[in-house]
Amino acid sequence: MKFSQFFIPTLREAPGDAAVVSHKLMLRAGMIRRLANGLFAYLPLGLRSFRKLERIIREEMDAAGALEVKPTVIVPAELWKESGRWDTMGEALLRVKNRLGGDFVVSPTAEEAITALVRDDLSSYKQLPLNLYQINTKYRDEVRPRYGVMRGREFVMKDAYSFHTDDASLARTYEDMGRAYRRIFRRVGLSVIPVRADSGAMGGSGSEEFMVESEIGDNTLILCKRCEYAANVEKAACKPDFVSVSVSAAREAAAGIPPIERIDTPDVKSIAELCAFLKTDAEKFIKTLVYTASNPNVDILKSIGWKNSGNKNAPATLHFVALIRGDLEVNEAKLASLLGASDISLATDGDVERITGAPVGFAGPAGLKDVLIIADESVSAMTGAVTGALVKDVHLQNVAFGRDFEPHLIADIRTVTAGDRCTLCGEELYEKKGNELGHIFKLGYKYTKTMKVSYLDIDGKAQTPLMGCYGIGLDRTLATVIEEHHDDAGIVWPITLAPFEALIIPVKYDGVVKEAADNLYAELRELGIDTLLDDRNERAGVKFNDGDLIGIPFRAVIGDKNLNNSPPLIELKYRADGKTRLVELWKAAEIIAAEVRAEIASFAGFAGGET
């Protein structure tokens, strides 16, 4: 491609609203332009990289046995009503009415559409497993789109949905997808942190997020300084500094603890105030928090044995109490997950007063009635704790687990933080911000049951298939590659995503320099190298700067002086390390082509190495 016939409107400065480096560089390099808040168009240069990413993802999906399909972007609302997401998805779902008054959805994901397609044509177990994917336009009506294509409203996602007869088959496809994802990210030069939902547990995992470290990340990651432990803080576990105790063991131990004692604590409410007042450590206290859960799962409540669970309809909101050792913090995401709730928040002061019989600050487990109590494992190991007394300005001492109170559920509801110990190896944990590029997930029966999908098994009996889903955001991945591969002068593309592999810069596009440049261009194209020839009538400095900005890996600079050498030379410069070398003109095309191929092979080999 000749620069003059291409369209690369580079900018000296990025517009003021571009806050992160990938957004700035994509605008400055003429890769993208803003059409509206959260809506970005790809210009020709940006689209070349985008298409290369698309191709890599398609290759890896096909190699893993997934089959490409193309549902529509606009999908009838009925399907979303069937799955229930029409109601639960909220305002992020862009809804549209057609001229006949029908309701439609601009797809943010395609569980419904793909499940509906499979439902229509699935008859026999012989058709399974089946893994269908698309690389298609999606829309999420984000309130605050940010960081360019990193968090846009319209975006392109590769989303795959697999269907299975049994857990083993789902596990195989899930692992295949995980391997394909790792290959994809390596092929584009990204180091991802695979974050398993239950890294701490042994055996199969139900969800894995592919994270990249990022200052602008949405997620907090908990990582081990020694081993490979990595978890989203919402799920992270740590090695406890106590030994968990069973309720019966706790009851026995409680025999040795002195009876409960009241302490007047006028106006002393916080743990810190109590520590000072009682001259003791936070570890001696049980923190008692009242929460409100929205839409808790009725089956889970039943399994906990919560008495109101006989009610067929789950309560829309449920108040409950969480207990944790005074020096630790409760993790609301873990609570939400435990209860299958759509949201967890601290109860209002009024609710706290109604439930505990005392103003905020004097809650405690002993004597609490008619409310679900969930205790962190840390509480089970405490012997004789300080708690609120359910009376204003009064606390209790020597409160014993198993004697004075008994929670309905003991679980890990603790927020792991930097400094806690790794659950796998005991080393210290640390925190990082991360961005999610991909996610693989075992959905189980969630959609196939609500949308009534079935097949006949080998005995001719109707069965419901299991399902998995696997997504990668293309725009965000591309922006992340730039976040990880740039310098002060511009983008430093990995060869696999570079819009062009080689750039020829004639210092002045005229006379023998022009002739040499045109010849090299023809030779490189002949050799199958994606080449850009900067044939503009611009100063060399402008061309060098644009070349650095758009980040082509190999650059051939052709000037009078080197050409006049005997034999004629040109300068070869590498974008990644800035190194230059002189090569003979007549050999230049072969040398560049060989180096481009070696570089591509190094990424491919990298990819192939992992199984």
Binding site for a second copy (CB under 8 A): 4-7, 9, 30, 33, 35-36, 39-44, 47, 50-51, 65, 67-76, 78-79, 91-92, 94-96, 98-100, 102, 104, 106, 113, 116-117, 120-121, 126-127, 130, 132, 136-137, 139, 141, 143, 153-154
Token pair, residue 248, equals: 């019966």
Minimum CB separation of residue 213 from a second copy in Å reads 28
CB 563 within 8 A of CB 585: yes
- Residue type for position 212: V
Nearer to a second copy, 152 or 361 (CB): 152
> Residue 469, SS3?
strand
Minimum CB separation of residue 15 from a second copy in Å reads 10
Minimum CB separation of residue 40 from a second copy in Å reads 7
Nearer to a second copy, 93 or 429 (CB): 93
In this structure, are strands 32-36 and 39-42 parallel, antiparallel, or unpaired?
antiparallel
Rounded to a whole number, what is the largest CA-CA distance in the chain?
A: 100
Alpha-carbon distance of 10 to 74, in angstroms, equals 35
- Residue type for position 115: T
Q: Among 36, 19, 15, which residue's Cα sits nearest to residue 152?
A: 36
Nearer to a second copy, 173 or 378 (CB): 173
Alpha-carbon distance of 175 to 129, in angstroms, equals 14
Reading phi first (left if > 0) and then psi (alpha if -120 to 50, else beta), residue 452 is in left
Nearer to a second copy, 76 or 204 (CB): 76
Sheet of 531-533: strands edge to edge?
531-533, 502-506, 554-558, 569-574, 580-584
Q: Cα(first)–Cα(last) distance of the chain, in Å?
A: 37
Nearer to a second copy, 132 or 552 (CB): 132
Minimum CB separation of residue 47 from a second copy in Å reads 5
Place of tokens 């139900």: 206
As a three-state string, the secondary structure of 182-204 is HHHHHHCCCCCEEEECCCCCCCC
Nearer to a second copy, 162 or 214 (CB): 162
Nearer to a second copy, 104 or 603 (CB): 104
Q: Among 386, 407, 410, which residue's Cα sits nearest to residue 258?
A: 386
Minimum CB separation of residue 65 from a second copy in Å reads 6
CB 233 within 8 A of CB 197: no
Nearer to a second copy, 123 or 580 (CB): 123
Nearer to a second copy, 67 or 425 (CB): 67
Minimum CB separation of residue 283 from a second copy in Å reads 46
Minimum CB separation of residue 411 from a second copy in Å reads 36
494 DSSP 8-state letter: -
Nearer to a second copy, 272 or 458 (CB): 458
Minimum CB separation of residue 48 from a second copy in Å reads 8
CA angle 193, 197, 203 (to 5 degrees): 105
CB 593 within 8 A of CB 526: no
Minimum CB separation of residue 519 from a second copy in Å reads 22
Alpha-carbon distance of 442 to 164, in angstroms, equals 11
Alpha-carbon distance of 481 to 492, in angstroms, equals 9
For residue 365, say if its preceding peptide bond is cis, omega within 30 degrees of 0: no
Minimum CB separation of residue 86 from a second copy in Å reads 15
Minimum CB separation of residue 526 from a second copy in Å reads 17
Nearer to a second copy, 35 or 276 (CB): 35
